[in-house]
Amino acid sequence: MTELRIALPKGRLFEESMELFVKKGIIPQPFEEGRRLSLKVNGYEFLLVKPSDVPVYVENGVADVGVVGKDVLLEKKPDLYTLLDLGIGFCRVVVAGKEEGREKYLKSSYLKVATKYPNIASQFFSEKGIKCKIIPLSGSVELAPLIGLSDFIVDLVQTGRTLKENNLVVLEEITTSTAMLVCNRASYRNLREEVLGLVFRLGKP
Amino acid sequence: MKVIPPQERFFHFEDSEKLKNFFLKACEVFSDYKFIMLPTLEVYSPELYGEGTLLIGSSEDGSLICLRKDWTLSLARFLSLQREIELPLKVFYWGNTFSLKGEGFQVGIEYLGEPSLKAELEVIKRLAQYLSACGVEPLLLSLGHVGISKELLKRYGEGYKESLLRKNFSELSKIEPLKELLLAQGGPEVLEAFQKKYPEFDTYIEELKALMKGLKELSVVFDLSELRPQDYYTGIVFEFFHPSLGYPVAGGGRYDGLYKSLGKELCAVGGAVYLDLLLEL
């Protein structure tokens, strides 16, 4: 049997993925998110990569399947099969800002928005007919409205604690996100048995 | 709306040489086909081209001008304007296609005016022959029939089309027949199983079985849930895969409805090889 290569996201989704894979009997016990970026467990090869890179690995065929948040899929729009909603890693993609900015947010037709999700943000605002200037950042997005880099942010919210600690509030929800199991077009056919086997094990209640 | 400029791509001498050889091979393998050159600039019509077309401006009479998105469409526009065509007609082309995502390079063939499976067999066999002449091996051929998915979508709602295109088990499990359609993927045994349960699709399944008999020299898998992004396909559809690439290297199918929408009765089967993707092998 050929070994299935699975790209897993480091960080936020990693632990929940581990829990799920153990619960469904795919691996015997969770492994640590350490320095090793590739390991073989139970007939699978796992690649531990940056969450937004998961679709890149899978799309190019170096990984057969991967675990990736809907937020990343919406942002990058990769050409992949989205086989299963894994139901883990629930979070929301929201517009947030300072409470005193709420009126401006509702009335203004020009907004400055800092975000890690330039595509999601610009699509969301252009559909509403709001002109916005996107300020692309790759981290610490919550800082932007505090120091006047932007009026608002579009970001992922899980518990809302980071927002609260920075005195920011959710102004509008854009979408919700959970993790999906994705697969590329070739592996779906070339490794049919292996891919479907994984889908059934992960999908069974 | 955000406009993404097409990604510019330079082919260095090495890649250019490969593209040249792909063309020369095509001239050899498809020597019994008629070669055609078609315009790169076309008049845009939204019904025909859909989303993702690269518009480049307007002409003096106010119509929109776009760059060729799809050779099959360009050829259909050309042939539908001809008063007389000698049938059956076999055509081959070589050149670039443009979309908002950038530029692609294709070699393709079209077999027009042959309603029977003879056309599918010919196109699939010749493309396989061309791919192996270009050294692209081993190949896996995936066969489907859009007739089945189109009818099931009519029954359960077009809303499931995106889920079918994305093979979304979570969504499709809500409707048993759609889930079974999705699972009808694999060797010839999946055809038998699906046929027993859904005898109303007999004609389509029999077509696939007959086709398989004629393609013994290829390794074939079936995928009954297969749909192509282009709406014009009406019958058998196929894709060729190579184990070290995540996407198909060639694809095509039967599109009897396309010429009708252009005002001509003409059945057709065609397929193209995505040369810019082959450069990565």
- As for how many domains chain A has, the answer is 2
pLDDT, one tens digit per residue, over A156-190 is 999 889 999 999 999 999 999 999 999 999 999 88
- Which pLDDT score is estimated for B261? 86
Residue labelled with tokens 């059934």: A200
Would you say B230 and B224 are in contact if contact means Cβ atoms under 8 Å apart? no
Question: What are the chain A neighbours of B243 within 8 Å (beta carbons)?
Answer: 186, 190
Strands (E), B20-63: 34-35, 41-43, 55-58
Task: Examine the domain organization and report whether A38 and A57 are in the same domain.
Answer: yes
- Domain that includes residue A189, residue range: 4-90+178-203
Would you say B247 and B64 are in contact if contact means Cβ atoms under 8 Å apart? no
Tell me if chain A has a CB within 8 Å of the CB of B4.
Answer: no
SS3 content of chain A, % helix, strand, coil (to 5): 35, 30, 35
Task: Examine the domain organization and report whether A84 and A61 are in the same domain.
Answer: yes
Question: What are the chain A neighbours of B242 within 8 Å (beta carbons)?
Answer: 186
Task: Examine the domain organization and report whether A83 and A149 are in the same domain.
Answer: no
Distance in angstroms (rounded) separating the CA atoms of residues B237 and A71: 32
Closest alpha carbon within chain A to B245 = A61
Task: Examine the domain organization and report whether A120 and A103 are in the same domain.
Answer: yes
Q: Do A189 and B140 touch (CB under 8 A)?
A: yes
Question: What are the chain B neighbours of A83 within 8 Å (beta carbons)?
Answer: 167-170
Task: Examine the domain organization and report whether A13 and A35 are in the same domain.
Answer: yes
pLDDT above 70: percentage of residues in chain A? 99
Tell me if chain A has a CB within 8 Å of the CB of B243.
Answer: yes
Q: ipTM of this model? A: 0.74
Q: Which of B140, B168, B185 sits opposite A82 (nearest CB)?
A: B168
Task: Examine the domain organization and report whether A116 and A160 are in the same domain.
Answer: yes
pLDDT, one tens digit per residue, over B140-153 is 999 999 999 999 99
The CATH code of the domain at B1-137+267-281 is 3.30.930.10
Question: What are the chain A neighbours of B183 within 8 Å (beta carbons)?
Answer: 196
pLDDT, one tens digit per residue, over B119-169 is 999 999 999 999 999 999 899 999 999 999 999 999 999 889 989 999 999
Tell me the pairing of strands A152-157 and A110-115.
Answer: parallel
Tell me if chain A has a CB within 8 Å of the CB of B174.
Answer: no
pLDDT, one tens digit per residue, over A80-130 is 999 999 999 999 999 999 999 999 998 888 899 999 999 999 999 999 888
Mean pLDDT value of segment A10-15? 90
Task: Examine the domain organization and report whether A43 and A17 are in the same domain.
Answer: yes
> What would the 3-class secondary structure string for B61-93 be?
CCCEEEECCCHHHHHHHHHHHCCCCCCCEEEEE
Query: Quick check: bond before B88 cis, omega within 30?
Result: yes
Tell me if chain B has a CB within 8 Å of the CB of A60.
Answer: yes
Q: Do A189 and B221 touch (CB under 8 A)?
A: yes
Task: Examine the domain organization and report whether A156 and A182 are in the same domain.
Answer: no
Q: CA distances (Å), A58 to each of A65, A66, A81, A196, B218, in order?
A: 6, 6, 10, 16, 26
- Which pLDDT score is estimated for B263? 86
Spell out the residues 6+ positions from residue B216 whose beta carbon is closer than 8 angstroms to its own.
Answer: none
pLDDT beneath 70: ranges in chain B: 1-7
Task: Examine the domain organization and report whether A157 and A188 are in the same domain.
Answer: no
Q: Do B170 and A85 touch (CB under 8 A)?
A: yes
Task: Examine the domain organization and report whether A83 and A104 are in the same domain.
Answer: no
Q: Which of A62, A83, A126 sits opposite B168 (nearest CB)?
A: A83
Q: Which of A82, A126, A186 sits opposite B246 (nearest CB)?
A: A186
CATH number at residue A33: 3.40.190.10
Task: Examine the domain organization and report whether A83 and A124 are in the same domain.
Answer: no
Give ranges for CATH 3.30.930.10 in chain B: 1-137+267-281, 140-241
Task: Examine the domain organization and report whether A53 and A102 are in the same domain.
Answer: no
pLDDT, one tens digit per residue, over B16-46 is 999 999 999 999 999 999 999 999 999 998 8
Q: What CATH superfamily classification does B140-241 receive?
A: Bira Bifunctional Protein; Domain 2 (3.30.930.10)
